Amino acid sequence: MSDLTQLMSQVSTGGVNGGAVEIPVEVRRFIERLTFADPEDVWQSLQESLAEDWMALPVWARNLAFRLLCLQRPDAAEILGQAGSDLLSFGPDWDDFAEELLARSQELKKKEV
């Protein structure tokens, strides 16, 4: 069983927090809204949130938002570059992913010229 499958199982059976999965309402709303948000809305919201207070958005939330945005806009050099830079700020666990995003961003920028 993969780590992800095991985590999914724990969440679905309540095997977290002593048998009760308690996710704050605000977190559930954020995840639900983000999951189905328009990519432009995600990008704009990230820009506004990070400009207001760069450290306020939890790392898990910004990683999730950037990840979904990168999947929706895989050829957007600016998005990939910012996602990579953001990941580097919270490594080193994600440095390999960050470097890959930054390299893809640079390649896309070269093609634009």
The confidence band for 4, taking pLDDT boundaries of 50, 70 and 90, is: confident
Q: pLDDT digits over 30-84, tens only?
A: 999 999 999 999 999 999 999 999 999 999 999 999 999 999 999 999 999 999 9
Q: How many domains, the chain?
A: 1
- Which range of residues forms the domain containing residue 73? 24-112
If one counts every other C-beta atom within 10 angstroms of the C-beta of residue 51, the result is: 8
Would you say residue 17 lies in a domain? Answer: no
- Find all residues with CB under 8 Å of 24, minimum gap 6, and list them: none
Mean pLDDT of the region 17-31: 79
Would you say residue 80 lies in a domain? Answer: yes
Would you say residue 18 lies in a domain? Answer: no
Question: Which CATH number covers residue 31?
Answer: 1.25.40
Would you say residue 3 lies in a domain? Answer: no
Would you say residue 93 lies in a domain? Answer: yes
Would you say residue 99 lies in a domain? Answer: yes
pLDDT of 16 higher than 60:
no
How far lies 42's CA from each of 1, 10, 30, 50, 93, in Å?
Answer: 33, 29, 11, 12, 24
